[in-house]
Amino acid sequence: MKEKIKEIHSKALSDISNANVLDELTNIRNIYLSKKSELMSFMSKMKELSHEERISFGQLINSVKEDISSRIEEKRISLEEEKLKDQLNKEIVDFTLPGRDHSKGSKHPFNAIVDQVCEIFIGMGYQIAEGPEVETDEFNFELLNVPKGHPARDMQDSFFIDDSLLMRSQTSPVQARVMLSKKGIGPIKIISPGKVYRRDDDATHSHQFGQIEGLVIDKNINMGNLLSTLELFAKAMFGEKREVRMRSSYFPFTEPSVEADISCFECGGKGCSLCKGTGWIEILGAGMVHPNVLRMCGFDENEYQGFAFGIGIERVAMLKYGIDDIRKFYTNDKRFNKQFYKE
């Protein structure tokens, strides 16, 4: 038996020294040291031996076992080192190579305008308000003095979801939402940027576009306040020399209603292709909040007055950055986006 054990021992040692990969060592451990291995099967035969023989035999098996186990361990360490060395040799890092260039994004011209307009009005003490894009007929039209069947609905050909829900056609419903939330107690001074939807599609109109609504409600508010606010805005946005003129217009929720023009920033008012020779560029719709709207939205029209305005975001961006087609805003072309806004 001792001969046989020595044979197993030397076979194990030669297997270990011939092993080239770590998996082989796991196999060798199974073959020589597992409970079912030949070496271990000798253990069960020990009871047939005399006491002395059992001691020396047991010691022999243990020392062989320990030796095989420690050789396997040594070999494992050396194979692992080799593997690491190989890997390091293969994965050479060349620190002298130039780094990869990460292309840096830029603000979309739409968002650049929203941020600039918001900043101007926040500077005048306005707060930002938000409203849902899927709006009820009540907020989008009825509370804004446009009852069902009113011809003014035709101005804003709309996307209805059902009889009483639509994609909002303007940001003006935020006026009604804010007024109702204030329960008849002023003052209110908000702007509300967001997306609106209309059945429009050409170079200057898109079925989805952005507006910024403004609303001020307080006691003793008049057209002069509206004009001076718009002048401050025009100068901050388009340059100190800008002037504002108001032309009378019609919106159902303001009375009187106006369209505001700014003096052309391209030609300074002399007349050019941008202002189509008029010296003026139309920039927003505005007016004094209609008493019906104040009343329906919970304000006493004898105590409070207000003004409101609506600015087209793409329109401002197109004017300011000289963009000729509104559809370019939505094509996600980075080259387009990058041209206009510098941090």
How many Cβ atoms are within 10 Å of 109's Cβ, its own excluded? 24
Nearer to ligand PHE, 131 or 310 (CB): 310
Closest CA to 106 of 338, 317, 314, 339: 338
265 is an interface residue for ligand PHE by CB under 6 A: no
Q: Does 172 bind ligand PHE (CB under 6 A)?
A: yes
Do the Cβ atoms of 117 and 312 come closer than 8 Å? no
Residue 302 CB, nearest approach to ligand PHE (Å): 21
For ligand PHE, which is the closer residue by CB, 172 or 337?
A: 172
- Among 308, 313, 316, 318, contact with ligand PHE (rule: CB under 6 A): 308
* CA 262 remoteness from chain centre: 34
Q: Residues 310, 313, 314, 329: which binds ligand PHE (CB under 6 A)? A: 310
Q: Which of residues 213-232 bind ligand PHE (CB under 6 A)?
A: 213
- Whether the CA torsion 313, 317, 320, 325 is positive or negative: it is negative
For residue 132, whether the previous peptide bond is cis, meaning omega lies within 30 degrees of 0, is no
For the CA atoms of 52, 53, 58, 60, what is the dihedral angle to 10 degrees? 120
**Cis ω for the linkage preceding 291 (within 30 of 0):** no
Which residue lies nearest ligand PHE, judged by its C-beta? 310
Among residues 145, 158, 170, 305, which is the contact residue for ligand PHE, using CB under 6 A? 170
Q: If binding is defined by CB under 6 A, does position 252 make contact with ligand PHE?
A: no
Q: Which is nearer to ligand PHE, 65 or 290 (CB)?
A: 290
Q: Largest alpha-carbon pair distance within the chain?
A: 124
Q: Determine how β-strand 127-128 pairs with β-strand 188-197.
A: parallel
Q: Is 209 in the site for ligand PHE (CB under 6 A)?
A: no
Select from 245, 178, 181 the least CA-distant residue to 216. 178
User: Would you state the structure tokens that stand for residue 167, as one six-digit string?
Assistant: 């994609």
Nearer to ligand PHE, 169 or 337 (CB): 169
Window 142 to 161, contacts with ligand PHE (CB under 6 A) = none
Residue of 287, 299, 319, 326 interacting with ligand PHE (CB under 6 A):
287
Nearest to 139 by CA among 304, 313, 297: 297
| By the rule CB under 6 A, 251 interacts with ligand PHE | yes
Which residue, 172 or 305, is less far from ligand PHE as judged by CB?
172
> Side chain identity at 320, as an amino acid letter?
K
CB of 238 to ligand PHE, least distance (A): 19
Residue among 206, 229, 254, 263 that touches ligand PHE (CB under 6 A) = 254
Q: What is the contact surface with ligand PHE in residues (CB under 6 A)?
A: 170, 172, 213, 251, 254, 285-287, 308-310
